[in-house]
């Protein structure tokens, strides 16, 4: 079935995206559109920034929406919701006899195991990794490991195993990485390549990407980017005990183990446990796939919420499964109810532009500003103003980069400008961005960069004073600081190379 797609910024309809999922009116599945709208209204009231949502019940999607410039066809970083995809791979490998739950972790890596193996490390098993009871006292974030170029397996073995494995719950992406490494050691494939023909392709998941770390290994605990519909399918196939279109993709016993509490903790095999028998995949900044077995329902959400912020999680539990329980006696649909699905298809995150010019644009356009030494390694910047747009050039230790911003309307394109310190450590070779700029006053130019395959939105403020320029960059959500130190620059006498460096989008 084809999803509804909101118009682009210019009002041009985007071709619909076929995700293969059936659609049905919410009333046909015992849900009032008004109850769904109440969930969205509550999110807006609380300031929860949603990027997309899909609700599935009784075999069909009954509600969905994306806040432009997000849309059904766009991939989105899933962060730690990746772990629940990995869980499926582990379950399949176990069913094929590639390894066993009780196998010792060190046994898979004789070439990388430390010279001295502690008693606790020696006892650590595959199941200890799956249940997040490896014995570690400290979690390891993917944002830290992404900056390490040497072996992550060796890095894992450096972590002290303080507690007896199996005894203490400590959530850490390091455990997920080791599961990915074990999967690769025993199958000869990356976790992604192993899952592709066995799980992803039969689900109708296409275009999913998974980062690679040192040793050509998927990180395991993070790094997947996929569509909201793909996240929904992951949850639905678990709701259906591993069955998809009449085919048993995952062993039913595995699904039951993975999605029930293990070892007395609110965690199964890389799935989180929720209230009332629910369970869910979760990624930082608000990527959720919530399964509600008693109601034959799934909610998938992508968002941009602060890490550790419980507003979105509480919002979900306040409305789900109440949406289904309160709708058991569904009233007769009203014309207002009928209009709500169209409203969900035309949501918007970025506002229309209100162009405002400045005489400073002509004075600084095409002029290169040489930067003082700074933490970002930026050496030069230049802006080129033309009719309806501005091209921003930046030179740093990674090379020369450009980004086009609209002055009359939002512009979409690709950029290689680094964002790692503000973007949870992620630094893809190329980033898809929707961008615009405006003059806040005659000497202050603001740019907004919405990185539409992630939760991140950067605000860049350039202040001009004579031959001096200050550059400030901040972000809406991050696991660390959300503001970078100011970069100061001065008009250069010569013109350093800040020409665009062409790169292909992966």
CB 313 within 8 A of CB 8: no
Together in a domain, 241 and 139: yes
CB 335 within 8 A of CB 59: no
Using alpha carbons, select from 115, 135, 250, 270 the residue that is nearest to residue 195.
Answer: 250
Give the chain's domain count: 2
Together in a domain, 277 and 163: yes
What pLDDT was estimated at residue 328?
A: 54
Q: Per DSSP, what are the bridge partners of residue 394?
A: 381, 401
Q: What is the pLDDT of residues 235-286, one digit of tens each?
A: 999 999 999 999 999 999 999 999 999 999 999 999 999 999 999 999 999 9
Together in a domain, 176 and 276: yes
Sign of the dihedral defined by the CA atoms of residues 149, 154, 156, 161, in that order: negative
Q: pTM to 2 decimals?
A: 0.93
Whether residue 53 is preceded by a cis peptide bond, meaning omega within 30 degrees of 0, is no
What pLDDT was estimated at residue 335?
A: 67
Q: What is the chain's length?
A: 506
Sign of the dihedral defined by the CA atoms of residues 152, 154, 160, 164, in that order: positive
What pLDDT was estimated at residue 119?
A: 98
Q: How far does Cα 298 stand from its chain's mean position?
A: 18
Together in a domain, 152 and 295: yes
Q: What is the pLDDT of residues 364-389, one digit of tens each?
A: 999 999 999 999 999 999 999 998 99
Give the domain range for residue 231. 76-325
Would 314 be classed as within a structural domain?
A: yes
Q: Per DSSP, what are the bridge partners of residue 411?
A: 435
Contacts of 467 (CB under 8 A, 6+ apart): 490, 491
Contacts of 440 (CB under 8 A, 6+ apart): 446, 461
Using alpha carbons, select from 341, 283, 332, 335 the residue that is nearest to residue 312.
Answer: 283
Would 190 be classed as within a structural domain?
A: yes
Would 349 be classed as within a structural domain?
A: no
| Whole-angstrom distance, CA of residue 177 vs CA of residue 183 | 10
- We report the CATH number of the domain holding residue 187 as 3.40.710.10
CB 125 within 8 A of CB 80: no
Q: What is the pLDDT of residues 86-114, one digit of tens each?
A: 999 999 999 999 999 999 999 999 999 99
CA-based radius of gyration for the chain: 24
Q: Mean pLDDT throughout 470-493?
A: 96
| Whole-angstrom distance, CA of residue 125 vs CA of residue 358 | 64
């Amino acid at each position: 079935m084809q999803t509804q797609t909101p118009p682009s910024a210019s009002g041009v309809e985007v071709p619909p995206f076929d995700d293969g999922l059936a659609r049905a009116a919410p009333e046909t599945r015992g849900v009032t559109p008004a109850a769904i709208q109440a969930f969205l209204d509550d999110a807006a009231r609380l300031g929860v920034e949603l990027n997309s949502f899909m609700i599935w019940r009784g075999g069909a999607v009954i509600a969905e929406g994306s806040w432009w410039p997000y849309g059904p066809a766009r991939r989105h970083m899933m962060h730690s919701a990746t772990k629940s995809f990995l869980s499926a791979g582990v379950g399949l490998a176990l069913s094929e006899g590639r390894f066993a739950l009780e196998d010792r972790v060190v046994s898979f890596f004789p070439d990388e195991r430390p010279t001295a193996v502690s008693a606790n490390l020696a006892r650590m098993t595959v199941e200890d990794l799956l249940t997040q009871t490896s014995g570690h006292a400290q979690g390891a974030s993917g944002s830290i490991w992404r900056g390490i170029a040497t072996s992550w397996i060796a890095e894992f073995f450096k972590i002290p195993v303080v507690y007896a494995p199996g005894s203490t719950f400590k959530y850490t992406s390091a455990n997920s990485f080791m599961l990915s490494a074990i999967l690769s050691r025993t199958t000869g494939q990356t976790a992604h390549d192993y899952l592709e023909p066995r799980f992803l392709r039969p689900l109708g998941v296409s275009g999913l990407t998974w980062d690679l770390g040192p040793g050509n290994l998927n990180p395991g605990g993070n790094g997947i980017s996929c569509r909201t519909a793909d996240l929904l399918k992951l949850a639905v196939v678990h709701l259906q005990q591993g069955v998809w279109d009449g085919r048993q993709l995952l062993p039913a016993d595995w699904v039951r183990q993975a999605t029930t509490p293990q070892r007395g903790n609110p965690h199964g095999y890389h799935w989180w446990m929720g209230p009332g028998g629910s369970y869910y995949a979760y990624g930082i900044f608000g990527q959720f796939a919530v399964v509600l077995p008693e109601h034959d329902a799934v909610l998938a959400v992508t968002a941009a919420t602060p890490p550790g912020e419980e507003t979105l999680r509480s919002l979900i539990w306040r409305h789900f499964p109440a949406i289904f329980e309160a709708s058991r006696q569904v009233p007769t649909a009203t014309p207002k109810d009928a209009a709500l699905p169209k409203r969900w298809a035309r949501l918007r995150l970025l506002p229309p532009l209100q162009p405002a010019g400045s005489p400073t644009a002509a004075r600084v356009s095409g002029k290169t500003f040489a930067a003082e030494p700074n933490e970002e390694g930026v050496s030069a910047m230049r802006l080129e103003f033309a009719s309806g747009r501005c091209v921003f050039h930046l030179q740093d230790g990674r090379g020369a980069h450009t980004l086009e911003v609209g002055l009359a309307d939002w512009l979409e394109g690709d950029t290689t400008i680094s964002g790692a310190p503000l973007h949870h450590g992620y630094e893809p070779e190329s980033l898809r961005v929707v961008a615009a700029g405006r003059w806040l006053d005659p000497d202050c130019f603001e740019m907004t960069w919405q990185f539409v395959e992630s939760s991140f939105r950067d605000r860049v403020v350039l202040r001009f004073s004579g031959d001096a320029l200050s550059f400030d960059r901040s972000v809406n959500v991050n696991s660390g600081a959300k503001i970078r130190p100011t970069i100061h620059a001065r008009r250069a006498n010569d013109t350093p190379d800040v020409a665009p460096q062409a790169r292909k989008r992966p």
